[in-house]
Amino acid sequence: MSSSKVNRRVGLVRTGNRDLMKEINLSIVLNLIRVQGPLSRTDIARLSGLSVGAVSGLTGELLASGFIREVGAGQSRNGRHPVLLALNPQAGFVVGIKLTEQSIVAAVTDLEAAVVHWRLEPENDLQNPEKAIAAIIRTVEAALKESAVPPSRVMGLGIALAGVIDSQDAVCYYSPILGWRQVQLAQPIEDRLHLPVYVENDVNTLTMAEQWFGAGRDFPHFLMVTIGRGIGMGVVANGQFYRGSIGGAGEFGHITLQPDGPRCGCGKSGCVEALAADPAIVRMARAAVESGKQTIMTQEARRTGQLTFDHVAQAANQGDKVAQEILAEAGRWLGLGLSHLVNLFNPQLIVLSGEGTRMGDARIESARQTMQEHIFDRLDGSIDLVVKPMGEEAWARGAACMVLGELFKHPINRDHRPGLPLGVA
Ligand SMILES: [Zn+2]
């Protein structure tokens, strides 16, 4: 494209849509302050390429709306001490909700994604969408009341759940754990709470949390892989979150590794999930106990009447060879799967998270080793595998981060759900 063409296009945008340009500039300034602040107005002009006059006007608006604040004086070479501007994290708050089969977790966070309050509500009727919606509304109201955040500062609600979600229309197409098909979640909740509501797959929201507020700030190419009852994945490539054509990208857990292997929850056989997730480990442990192998898990199963992933992980920690081998076997399958991801995506970083990373290090160590063995030669050495253990509130925080991400996103990239207050009326 010739340079005259480029200039003409920019000129058209400027004259044709002034409000959008202003909104874009506000967003650029706010994001510079958020990511690199505290900054002086001169710093912002230099980093953004905007004029000092334009920066003064834009920062004036952001100060008036409370999004940024003055935080004292900086240093400069000519002896002056320019006023520094920083994000005001308490200028707004968002709520994140994580739905599981039997609970709702809510987290209230500030603009820097710090959790100011969270609660876990056990619920038995979530399979019924109407009852689930009523329970979400109750939980959000209770969490906000307990957090003592003024209602006027609450900027949005994010809902995260496992399944295939159309985030644009806020519809859950299919959620196997809740048994939902075609559930419209946002509208009835928006009507009641008068907040913009965003809905997204739970692993995607964790990925966004990492992209906006975690390791992803420094890595434009990374994968988030979660292990637990299932195995999930989120993809960030070129700094952009990747959804696929209908929002179904990242079904890493259902890549077939062993076609004649164990049955998977998805109906196929030998998926990564069926070979390496927590239930696969429990299944292997039961088989070992039933076949009479020498293991302390046998006593544990007799004493408690059951065998869980935690039992296997604890037995392995105590030096039980059978438990260690089961974790290592699951880890080898996981690592084989991860090596495929590295070969496909060539990420700088894989973040491994989810409840399955709390314990059972033998699975992760063996996954790391197998992954290295199967990576294509030239990609080896450039990949970092970081383990980030997490609790229930981290899922809800991830849902909140989705709303924050939307707030800080470049205006033309925003999902067009109503009501986020930053921008030009
Ligand atoms: Zn499967």
Rounded distance from Cα 98 to ligand 1 centre (Å): 22
Q: Is the pLDDT of residue 189 over 70?
A: yes
Output the pTM of the full model: 0.82
From 389, 402, 396, select the one nearest 355 (Cα to Cα): 389
pLDDT for 2 equals: 36
- 308 in helix, strand or coil? coil
Average pLDDT over residues 103-108: 97
Rounded distance from Cα 279 to ligand 1 centre (Å): 13
Question: Which of 90-104, 157-171, 250-264, 324-338 shows the lowest per-residue confidence on average (mean pLDDT)?
Answer: 157-171
Rounded distance from Cα 397 to ligand 1 centre (Å): 27
| Strand order from edge to edge, sheet including 349-353 | 240-242, 231-237, 222-227, 349-353, 384-388
Segments of 93-249 assigned E as strands: 93-99, 103-110, 115-122, 154-161, 164-166, 171-175, 180-184, 197-201, 222-227, 231-237, 240-242
Residue 113: band (very low, low, confident or very high) from pLDDT cuts 50, 70, 90: very high
Rounded distance from Cα 227 to ligand 1 centre (Å): 14
Rounded distance from Cα 274 to ligand 1 centre (Å): 6
Rounded distance from Cα 251 to ligand 1 centre (Å): 9
Q: Domains (ranges, CATH) in the chain?
A: 3-87 (1.10.10.10), 91-195+394-413 (3.30.420.40), 217-390 (3.30.420.40)
DSSP codes of every residue in 34-90: HHH-SEEHHHHHHHH---HHHHHHHHHHHHHTTSEEEEEE---TTS--PEEEEE-GG
User: Does an H or E element contain 386, and which?
Assistant: strand 384-388
Residue 73: band (very low, low, confident or very high) from pLDDT cuts 50, 70, 90: confident
Rounded distance from Cα 231 to ligand 1 centre (Å): 9
Rounded distance from Cα 207 to ligand 1 centre (Å): 21
Rounded distance from Cα 314 to ligand 1 centre (Å): 27
Rounded distance from Cα 186 to ligand 1 centre (Å): 29
Question: Which of 190-199, 293-302, 377-386, 387-396 shows the lowest per-residue confidence on average (mean pLDDT)?
Answer: 377-386
pLDDT for 8 equals: 25
CA–CA–CA angle 112, 395, 194 (5° rounding): 70
The neighbour count for residue 218, using CB atoms within 10 Å, is 9
Rounded distance from Cα 268 to ligand 1 centre (Å): 5
